[in-house]
């Protein structure tokens, strides 16, 4: 789905034995978000806003640098970059490079404010 630039949404569930003795907000992430049963997966097209390509062209022609910052996985980000005109469609070497990327865990401390690292 990422090769098509789709947002992947997964739907899952877990039955939790509940006797009512605890506040639901006291449940830990591990109690809720582990050992889920996958129910469905969907791919949703996340369309660009109108005139994004044209705006990027205008910025570049005006000498303004344009950067793309995303939290998407590599292939999804590449397809978005192509669809908005930041990356030429024929850049096959980028496709090869991105397909070999490995996701690494975030190295920031959980209590560290992201703005402090900039």
Q: Does residue 113 or residue 90 have the better pLDDT?
A: 90
Per-residue pLDDT at 40 exceeds 70 = yes
- 33 phi/psi in degrees, rounded to 5: -100, 15
The total number of structural domains that make up the chain: 1
Asked if the structure places residue 104 within a domain, the reply is no
The pTM of this model reads: 0.49
Question: What residues make up the domain containing 46?
Answer: 2-98
Q: Which residue has the tokens 């990327």?
A: 101
Q: Report residue 15 as tokens.
A: 């039955």
| Rounded Cα–Cα distance for residues 110 and 22 (Å) | 26
Asked if the structure places residue 57 within a domain, the reply is yes
36 contacts 13 by C-beta, under 8 angstroms: yes
| Of the candidates 66, 62, 63, 101, the residue with the CA atom closest to the CA atom of residue 87 | 66
Return the H-helix or E-strand segment holding 44: strand 37-45
Asked if the structure places residue 88 within a domain, the reply is yes
User: Residue 52: is it exposed, middle or buried by C-beta count within 10 angstroms (0-12/13-18/19+)?
Assistant: middle
Asked if the structure places residue 21 within a domain, the reply is yes
| Rounded Cα–Cα distance for residues 18 and 34 (Å) | 16
pLDDT score, position 30:
87
Asked if the structure places residue 116 within a domain, the reply is no
pLDDT score, position 90:
78
Asked if the structure places residue 94 within a domain, the reply is yes
Indicate if the alpha-carbon torsion angle 13, 76, 4, 84 is positive or negative: positive
Q: What is the pLDDT of residues 62-92, one digit of tens each?
A: 999 888 887 777 777 788 888 888 887 777 6
């Amino acid at each position: 789905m990422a090769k098509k630039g789709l947002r992947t949404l997964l739907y899952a569930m877990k039955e939790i034995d509940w006797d009512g003795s605890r506040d639901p907000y006291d449940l830990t992430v591990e109690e809720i978000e582990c050992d889920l049963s996958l129910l469905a997966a969907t791919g949703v097209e996340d369309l660009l806003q109108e005139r994004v390509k044209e705006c990027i062209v205008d910025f570049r022609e005006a000498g303004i640098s344009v950067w793309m910052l995303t939290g998407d996985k590599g292939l999804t980000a590449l397809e978005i970059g192509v669809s908005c005109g930041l990356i030429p469609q024929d850049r096959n070497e980028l496709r090869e490079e991105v397909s070999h990327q490995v996701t690494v865990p975030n190295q920031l401390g959980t209590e560290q404010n992201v703005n402090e690292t900039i």
